[in-house]
Amino acid sequence: MTTNTTAAAAARTPADDLIDRLWSIMHEIEAADFPALRVVELDEPTDYGERTVLWCPRCDQHVNVEDGYLRAIDVDVRYNSVGQLNPAERTVPLYEADPDPGDVLVYLHQTDEHGEHGVWLPEAWEGTWKA
């Protein structure tokens, strides 16, 4: 039995094209039309005393620790500097370009019952990074 390595090699994406595809997909996600969370005023407070909450339009439930976590997926693709190579120790020193997190790519609402789904924050809301 012989293996056709030419067909397998032809099906592979060139390595440099993968980087272009990564950037393209990230831009597509940022531009995607995910629904925004809604601000809802509850008649009765939650167990934590909340009356103003975020509500997910995709799964129709309260966004909180018990009912579904909200995660901010950031994309921090950085170009870090490389210092003087050390052939004797076989090391390459890397210098961090920027220690801050990147921009938020999308918010992900994760629930046990409804799985994971992308959402945006309500209009005029913004995420702020905490140290």
Tell me the pLDDT tens digit for each residue of 31-49: 899 999 999 999 999 888 8
Task: Give the tens place of pLDDT for each residue, 48-98.
Answer: 888 888 999 999 988 876 666 888 888 776 667 777 777 788 888 877 766
CA distance 37 to 119: 7
Q: Where are the domains of the chain?
A: 18-119
Higher pLDDT, 100 or 127: 127
Predicted local distance difference test score (pLDDT) of residue 78: 64
Q: Which residue blocks in 1-131 are alpha helix, DSSP H?
A: 5-11, 15-31
Taking the C-alpha atoms of residue 29 and residue 77, their distance in angstroms, rounded to an integer, is 15
Is residue 129's pLDDT more than 90?
no
Partnered with residue 109 across adjacent β-strands are: 70, 117
Of 54, 60, 29, the residue nearest 127 (C-alpha): 54
Whole-structure pTM over 0.85, yes or no? no
Element holding 104 (H helix, E strand): strand 104-111
